[in-house]
Structure 1
């Protein structure tokens, strides 16, 4: 089995390598190719990756290359984990929206749109080259904004599934609170990428007992603290929203906070410099503890599980993925990309049936789906007016004066990445 990671020079990659090494019985990788144009970073990451495999006795071969076509040739699956513009672009995404009183964040709001505009054309070019070189390969997208990027891939006819680590992170937290194994915790997970709610927490599988009410009663304070939301709100909702919902439910509070502290991009950039220095140590042969603060917790386990199921070698029968709606949520278009539990097999993901959805969540999902459609049109076809319309549609923007000002700032800060600007 051959797997290729595009963006293999990312500081995330040792997390992925550790998962491949630990879970080799689930996903027996024989060749792992790390592709990245940043040769110096790639060698540092690749060296650590080989040492992690050696320490854990993994017999697989790790190859590093800057040649995308050679890297994806013959791959059974291609994982995408790239950041167009790097942390410098992320720093901008997180700061200029604040000038207009809007949340500055890399995957949602105006900053998320900027990232989508930079990313979609690059990902589609990579996917086309995968299709020319190896049309049978699955593309697993971990590149944000996952929902929009996955929709672009599927709309272009690629064999693609989107992956996010929010659900597996919540599953692990709930399992610890319930003192049970993560495999025994099944989430009734509904929504769009970075706009999701856990409406049930079931023991043993999709038909198991729903222990969410007990979980909230016994551990509501701890869960609320993790989400930075007030406990009474969770009690009133009776569900667990993802932490990204705080940008919607406490927008002005978040803006005030973001204006008074360094950006997350600055923190991550400092961590990355330290991590790369550590990766260069020939004595290091395991992922460092610092990597846990970088983000992407449990990404490797989710990726292994998904790849194993898609490639017919095992994996969990039900997994949270980003895939086409196709009637699963009847209030959304069939071609919308949703994030839900699905049965995953070699033919791809099949979303599980979803019970009726509270209008409180359905309305916001429909609004953001409309924004994502407009955002994808802007990413594919460019133009100031398309950017403006996408921003005007986003519930975190919504006012025409904000949309006008944010459009100007987005284009000014991203001109080098926008072929039409």
Structure 2
């Protein structure tokens, strides 16, 4: 049987509860929120029902005339035979009937309801799983109330720019604060690492301002200006940045530009691509007995090829220069088998992790694909260390 969810106008209509026990009392709790004209019929009626001002009690065994003039009827007795008779009588009179003892043959279901100041959400279970329905209703209520609160706060944020770290690219790693701001945003600027399909759920305008080597949608000066213009017009602006806005994200440049022009700006941290690549690639950046320091560098430009004074070095944005960095390590006296971990598209379904050496990289035996995070150091092979020192 297929049930079509609808909302009914109960104003001026009388509702019937046939049965006066615990089940009827439970039904009454939700009904009285929408109707003050409820007829209850039963030889005995529990005090919880008797004391309700919306109820007219009839202390009688059920008779067909008890449902005359009713708009909806709930058959709530503890007798399946009586409930079946109630349903048959309702059908002959064109009255919709809900049997609390047999949902499948009922004309309608009572939904689990979530009600806030502005919304009513009805939830039905296709598999009659009551506990799951209750849990889901609780989750929905929390979600709707949170969204209402965010919309109420939105006016206070008009004309403000949020520089939000999106993380390495997988939407599930976006922070809760970042997701809330996307819900509130009037306009969203996003870059290369983010799959724009994820943003379809948000109502704000979406503008791509990505930058990738050899294919810049907008230069940094242009990005600064479009952020300024959007916020100046009173919009709540979210600028999504891959990783964290303050680690090779130029977030400080954008904030300085906007604040110099009188705008309010806030950073929202994101999971840096290096941290994500290390965790998801199972390559620790520090490890007791192996590495107690780590440094981060960008592999753009020859000035970036210098070897940092740290046990582990992480290089961003360097797919086309990893072999040059590896060669520099060799020239500085590092052994040919010095470990390197390459994490391609960290956090995405097609993520790849390659463990290699500076020798193999420098000779072109292994190629780095973009986007990649390169991790140089003995922690790349930490499992071998642990096995040897077990």
Q: Same fold (TM over 0.5)?
A: no
Q: TM-score, normalised by structure 1?
A: 0.25
- Is the radius of gyration larger for structure 1 or structure 2? 2
More helix by share: 1
- Greater relative contact order, per chain length (Cα 8 Å cut-off, separation 6+): 1
**More strand by percentage:** 2
